Amino acid sequence: MRRLVVTSLGALALSACAVPGGRRTPAGADTVPADAAGRAPGAAPADAPVAEMLAGARYTLLGELHDNPALHRLRLGWLQRLADGHRFVIAMEQFDAIMQPRLDAARARIESAGDDASAGAGQAARARELAEAAGFSFSGWDWPLYEPVVALALERGLLLIAANLSSRETAAIARGSASAVSGPRGDRPAGWTDADQAAMASAIRNGHCGLLPEAAIGAMVDAQLARDRTMARAMIDAHRATGLQVVLLAGNGHVRADIGVPRHLAELDAGGGIFVVGIGEFGAPLPGRYDRFVAVEEISREDPCEALRRRFGR
């Protein structure tokens, strides 16, 4: 079991696809209903402020449930409206930070080729080329949900940042052999308390249906913290290099204002404004603290606990 957890840690790290809990409408945050196309109904007076508020912060974090198409369409609409007003940087959890040089090289090739038909295929192929260069896992992520974001970056000339810690580096942390967790504080942000540690451990434990061996929880917390800090550093480096707003797309677990990437941003760039939007489904528990929480209709999916039981052979 220990070997299985270490091997699978990259896929199992806390994400927005944590197991749904009790069915209730999220409380303690604003919610915006959306139709099947991911749009708020009617004139959507509650939706407009979301897109407008995105422009006001140096660092904007947009959460997700990785498998809900309506959610992805809603978020894409916000990005399109934001791009109508100004240029910004898109940072993605789905891209590995160590792949940034390859991503930049692929982007340079695509842009140098321009619209010359003899230079390559259309936009879809170019978007896929960027994703491949950035280490996107086509077997682990649903590419059609992320392709429009990469295409938008190409269309609008928006810089793409590979933000996440790779699965290999994550597994090394689980084995206790990575420098990322060395030192007295490791990747824990300033002010990190025992309560914060317990909250993250609880989220990981519950998000995996209680199937993880308790001995693995500490390593999972270390991995989550390392990923969150890596994403925060990628965002800060991008802002300092460009002077532009940086928008992170990542799972709701990563963008939590209480224990996620925003905690690291607040420490590493104390003067930077941060705005966090969690995006989930109606009827699911609020998965953390956000500046704004938006809900869309839930989708029909296999019981994630049953899928994990099969994976662990239970």
Q: Which of the four pLDDT bands, split at 50, 70 and 90, describes residue 213?
A: confident
Cα 27 from Cα 276, distance rounded (Å): 16
- Domain assignment of residue 267, yes or no: yes
Sheet containing strand 246-249, strands side by side? 159-164, 89-96, 246-249, 59-62, 274-281, 292-296
Q: Does 52 reside within a domain?
A: no
- Token digits of residue 121: 């295929």
pLDDT averaged over every residue in the chain:
82
Kindly report the length of the chain.
314
The answer as to whether 229 is a domain residue is yes
Segment 108-123 shows an average pLDDT of 71
Of the candidates 167, 204, 207, 211, the one whose C-alpha atom is nearest the C-alpha of residue 310 is: 211
Domain presence at residue 51: no
**49 within a domain of the structure (yes/no):** no
If 0-12 CB within 10 Å is exposed, 13-18 middle and 19+ buried, where does residue 305 land? middle
Where is average pLDDT lowest: 20-24, 50-54, 112-116, 134-138?
20-24
Residues 268/5, Cβ–Cβ less than 8 Å:
no
Q: How many domains does the chain have?
A: 1
Q: Which of 254, 276, 251, 206 is nearest to 22 (CA)?
A: 206
Amino acid letter at 225? L
pLDDT at position 121, please?
Answer: 55
Q: What is the mean pLDDT of residues 270-299?
A: 90
Query: Which sign does the torsion angle of CA 108, 248, 141, 7 carry?
Result: positive
How far is residue 99 from each of residues 106, 207, 234, 306, measured CA to CA in Å? 11, 28, 12, 34
Say whether 191 sits in a helix, a strand or coil: coil
Q: Across residues 5-15, what is the average pLDDT?
A: 42
Q: Which two tokens stand for residue 59?
A: 């660092």
Lowest mean pLDDT among 54-68, 144-158, 185-199, 225-239: 185-199
Can you give the pLDDT at residue 236?
A: 98
Q: Is residue 99 part of a domain?
A: yes
Q: Which of 1-15, 50-64, 116-130 has the lowest mean pLDDT?
A: 1-15
Residue holding tokens 């966090």?
276
Per-residue pLDDT tens over the stretch 90-106: 999 999 999 999 999 99
Residue 186, pLDDT score: 65
Higher per-residue confidence, 208 vs 226: 226
First-to-last CA distance in the chain? Answer: 11
**Gap between the Cα atoms of 232 and 260, Å rounded:** 9
Helix (H) or strand (E) run with residue 159 in it: strand 159-164
User: What domain range includes position 213?
Assistant: 2-42+57-312
* pTM score, whole prediction: 0.85
Which CATH number does the domain housing residue 148 bear? Answer: 3.40.50.11550
Q: Is 50 part of any domain? A: no
Give a yes or no: residue 290 inside a domain: yes
130 pLDDT above the threshold of 50: yes
Task: Using pLDDT thresholds of 50, 70 and 90, give the confidence band for residue 199.
Answer: very high
Could you give the CA distance from residue 58 to residue 196 in angstroms, rounded to a whole number?
25
pLDDT at 53: 82
Does residue 25 surpass a pLDDT of 50? no
Residue tagged 């991503």 (tokens): 103
Instruction: Give the least confident one: 32-46, 65-79, 201-215.
Output: 32-46
Residue 27 has pLDDT above 80, yes or no: no
